[in-house]
Amino acid sequence: MEVDKEHLIMRNVTSEDAKNLLTFLYKVSDETQNLTFSSSDLSISVEDETRFLSKASKEQTFIIAEYKGIIIGTTQLIIPLRERVKRTASMAISVLQAYWGEGVSTRLIENILERAVILGIKKINLKVRSDNTRAIKFYEKYNFKREGETSRMFYIDTSWVSGTYYGLEL
């Protein structure tokens, strides 16, 4: 679906996004098998999601792409608390399939990388299905370096799917 950039908003999540975010998560998780969860794993109440988002909102680690009032993409930094690892983060990103190829993730990643720098993150680590070429091209475009392979990242329909580790030093 063509995205009119004038109506594409990047913003921090708020706890009021809980209901719409759950709707987004149910949709995005069933559109591909590229995420670590499907909708059947989502038994999150709006109250639990509100609590989680309230924390993410304070920490400014969660960015939403909103288009004409609908959440169409998200990105998140997950930052561990402990001293030895608190300057690293893992990152997640996803966009509704109808909006792929329209530069939505480009806007999301540019915002979250800027945020990571502000938060003092020096390394972003992530794992991607080795056959998710779209995401791999995307990460490589942003200078993420391939750091290794894992033979068993996902178990789907009785088969194992391998994964690739990517990292970006900031």
Question: Could you list the residues that contact ligand COA (CB under 6 A)?
Answer: 32, 34-35, 93-95, 100-106, 126, 128, 132-135, 137-138, 141
**CB 28, min distance to ligand COA, A:** 7
Rounded (5°) CA angle 91-152-82: 40
Taking alpha carbons only, the member of 138, 127, 166, 156 closest to residue 30 is 156
Residue 15 vs 123, nearer CB to ligand COA: 123
Residue 61 vs 94, nearer CB to ligand COA: 94
DSSP string, 87-120: TEEEEEEEE-GGGTTSSHHHHHHHHHHHHHHHTT
d(CA 68, CA 122) in angstroms, rounded, equals: 34
Residue 8 vs 18, nearer CB to ligand COA: 8
Of the CA atoms within 13 Å of residue 4, those in its CB half-sphere come to 3
Residue 33 vs 54, nearer CB to ligand COA: 33
**CB 167, min distance to ligand COA, A:** 13
Type of residue numbered 91: M
**CB 105, min distance to ligand COA, A:** 3
